A and B are shown apart, each in its own frame.
Chain A
Amino acid sequence: MKPNRSIELSQHIYRQLLRLYPQSYRTTYETEMFRVFTDQCREAYQGRGGLGLLTLWLRTLMDVGKTVVIEHISDPNAKVGLLDAIPNAPLPWKGVLLVLIPGLIFFVSQIEQVTSNGDWFFFAYYRAAYFLILPVLLIWIFTRRFPVWGLIPLGLLYGTLESYGPGYLIDKLTFLKLSDTLVLSGITFDLNYLMPVSVCVVLLCGLIWYNARRRQISRSVSGWLALYGALIIFQIVVEAQRRIVQEVAYSGSNWQTVLGSADMKQFLFQMPLWYLYTSLSFLLLVFIGKIFARKHGGLSFLLLLGYLLPTIVFGRYGEWTDIIPFYWVTSVVLIYRFVVALVAPVWLVREVSITGRQRAAAIPVAVAVICHVTLNVIVNIIMANQYAYQMSLVDLALAVWNQVLVAAGLGLAVALYLPREKDTAVVSPPLETVTE
């Protein structure tokens, strides 16, 4: 039979469609399926010409669509791509794709935010975390294993809930609703902050103690932890000092009088809770990531990437959108998110050596932090010029302090999840502990 162009084209398309089936299935049946399809094409064309081929294609597309899904679900190797990434092995595309879904949703919502005045960005922003965690939980329940790609949605959920603020969360938990405030020695504490901060402190102490007992707190981990603590203290002290100086200037009283006032006392006890809430909850997430690092190693970093993902630098709704070019700022944010949310996970999965993974974790983080810090500094300088306010270095430092804290936390995570070879020699648990 002489070659027919329609049949050849059909064969070519079908051969491409066969690539959708799992590798193990294709190895065994690809040739046979292709041969059967070729026979079907010839028969259909001989019988009814082009119309016969068209009818065959309609049936074939339905057949491929249905059976590709069935074969992927029933393929024993499918679980490898969904649950674990194996260095040296081909990229687990199914898992990576699922890792990328949260990132893609945010990119689409960001682009929507730029290109229209629609509000659905906020819906996607706040609701995505709740929906994206559902498949992760289902996989966890059914397989009793937490999938590596589930770390990003988990981090995303953590970040979203944190951004609501503790008051919102406590309001939802009616059984926790005792009172809004607690009065101790004449100082009124906001329970909406005191309770979560206390919970964070207790959990952090427990996790640090647990890791120390397993000899997982290396020198570099201790160093990053000390730096993180120092940065928190510095932030609180500088904020307190700023407020006192402002009050002294405003009231004309001396600083002893200002310090003795009930309002200032109230502020000095309450303000640290606001800062501690954000910084300690992020530190807690870093240590939660260490729990996953036992199984997934450096890929636990995905948890923190998920947390970083929903960070809004600013957008159409910020008051500064009239002051600085909105489009180039959004472009910068999109590029940095592309690096952090899309490139970093794939890069981490591909790297085999610890040094390579440290690099894959550190470079996207550096990009993220540099973008955040630069944009915050630019915004603050422009706004200060707008209102003719002379900015001090302390003002600038405080403007970017949360990003500096995040950077220190991420440095801690790299040291904690990806210990260097020389650290490994020091911190490795005894063999019995590893094998138990």
Chain B
Amino acid sequence: MPNTNSAFVPGQPLTPAVFHILLALADGDKHGYAIMKDVEDQTAGRIKLGPGTLYGTIKRLLAADLIVEVDERPDPELDDERRRYYRLTAQGRKLAVEENQRLTQAVKVARTKRLENLLN
């Protein structure tokens, strides 16, 4: 059942921080620092989340049931049991896919208008 108190409205664009955190969790459970590093890699260093933005966003994603905190550890060798790990929920995955479709559509439109040529 959708969370009625959610700050994320289906169909509305997500903020870059939210979208990239969802993307970071798309390939497995991660702790906060790993999410932060993943976002940095995804965006080639253009988005560097601070701890405040990272955990503020995580707090809202948890409240909206888009991610959950998990006790299992993805790799016991690398595990730091003091850290908290987060996992994407089905609802979170669906929202990430919808955002991806929205962005793909926007890029498609931009290509048909040959936006890149406007700079030449």
Question: A-side interface residues toward B, CB under 8 Å?
Answer: 21, 25, 28-29, 31-37, 39-40, 59-60, 62-64, 66-68, 70-71
CA distance A21 to B51 in the complex (A): 12
| Contact residues of A: prevailing secondary structure | helix
Name the distance in Å between B58's Cβ and chain A's nearest Cβ. Answer: 8
Name the distance in Å between B91's Cβ and chain A's nearest Cβ. Answer: 21
Pair A36/B51 contact, Cβ less than 8 Å: yes
Pair A71/B83 contact, Cβ less than 8 Å: no
Question: B-side interface residues toward A, CB under 8 Å?
Answer: 32-33, 36, 48-56, 58-59, 82-84
Residues of the A chain whose Cβ atoms lie less than 8 Å from the Cβ of B56: 67, 70-71
Residue from the set B36, B49, B53, B83 with the largest chain A CB neighbour count within 10 Å? B53
Pair A33/B59 contact, Cβ less than 8 Å: no
Residues of the A chain whose Cβ atoms lie less than 8 Å from the Cβ of B55: 29, 32-33, 36
Pair A36/B36 contact, Cβ less than 8 Å: yes
Residues of the B chain whose Cβ atoms lie less than 8 Å from the Cβ of A63: 49-53
CA distance A29 to B33 in the complex (A): 13
Pair B33/A62 contact, Cβ less than 8 Å: no
Tell which of B48, B49, B50, B84 touches A32, judged by Cβ atoms closer than 8 Å: B84
Residues of the B chain whose Cβ atoms lie less than 8 Å from the Cβ of A70: 56
CA distance A59 to B36 in the complex (A): 14
Q: Given that A35-B33, A35-B82, A36-B32 are known contacts, is A25 also in contact with B59, CB under 8 Å in the complex?
A: yes
Smallest CB gap from A65: residue in B: B52
CA distance A70 to B48 in the complex (A): 18
Residues of the A chain whose Cβ atoms lie less than 8 Å from the Cβ of B36: 36, 40
Name the distance in Å between A224's Cβ and chain B's nearest Cβ. Answer: 49
Instruction: Give the 6 A-B CB pairs with smallest separation, nearest first.
Output: A63-B50, A67-B52, A33-B51, A29-B55, A63-B52, A36-B51
Residues of the A chain whose Cβ atoms lie less than 8 Å from the Cβ of B54: 33, 36
Smallest CB gap from B50: residue in A: A63
A-B contact list, 17 entries, CB within 8 Å: A21-B52, A28-B59, A29-B55, A31-B82, A32-B32, A33-B32, A35-B82, A35-B83, A36-B32, A36-B51, A39-B33, A40-B51, A60-B50, A60-B51, A62-B50, A63-B51, A66-B53
Name the distance in Å between B73's Cβ and chain A's nearest Cβ. Answer: 16
Name the distance in Å between A25's Cβ and chain B's nearest Cβ. Answer: 7
Tell which of B48, B50, B59, B82 touches A29, judged by Cβ atoms closer than 8 Å: B59
